């Protein structure tokens, strides 16, 4: 089984970008979350690097299993995260947490 080219990034992206109408529509279509905005999901998400996404920043929102893609200072779309991407994100995040705990 090959490991996908995706990694958790430790540095936060301070600015919460605005969202395009396309991103808002995709958020509702792909999550069914009417009580959470795509911008709020961005704040809750984990920064990840997804080289094949072709955008400036990507965040993984674990509760909905989605990737939020941003470029040009705006969230441009919302995608379903592939299962192998989710597993890789979780493994890397747990490894990073374990490393920090061990260093303390």
pTM of the model: 0.69
DSSP calls for 12-37 = ---SPPEE-HHHHHHHHHHH--SSS-
List the chain pLDDT tens, one digit each, 104 residues. Answer: 333 344 444 444 557 789 999 999 999 999 999 999 999 999 999 888 777 778 888 999 999 999 999 998 899 999 988 755 666 666 666 676 676 667 66
Tell me the backbone φ, ψ of residue 19, rounded to 5 degrees. Answer: -125, 140
């Amino acid at each position: 089984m090959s490991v996908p080219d995706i990694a958790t990034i430790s540095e936060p992206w301070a600015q919460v970008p605005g969202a395009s109408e396309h991103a808002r529509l995709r958020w509702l279509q792909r999550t069914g979350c009417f009580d959470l905005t795509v911008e709020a999901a961005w704040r809750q998400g984990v920064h990840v690097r997804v080289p094949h996404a072709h955008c400036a920043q990507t965040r993984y929102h674990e509760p909905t299993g989605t990737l939020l893609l941003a470029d040009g200072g705006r969230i441009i779309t919302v995608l379903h995260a592939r299962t192998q991407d989710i597993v890789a994100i979780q493994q890397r995040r747990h490894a990073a947490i374990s490393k920090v705990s061990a260093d303390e």
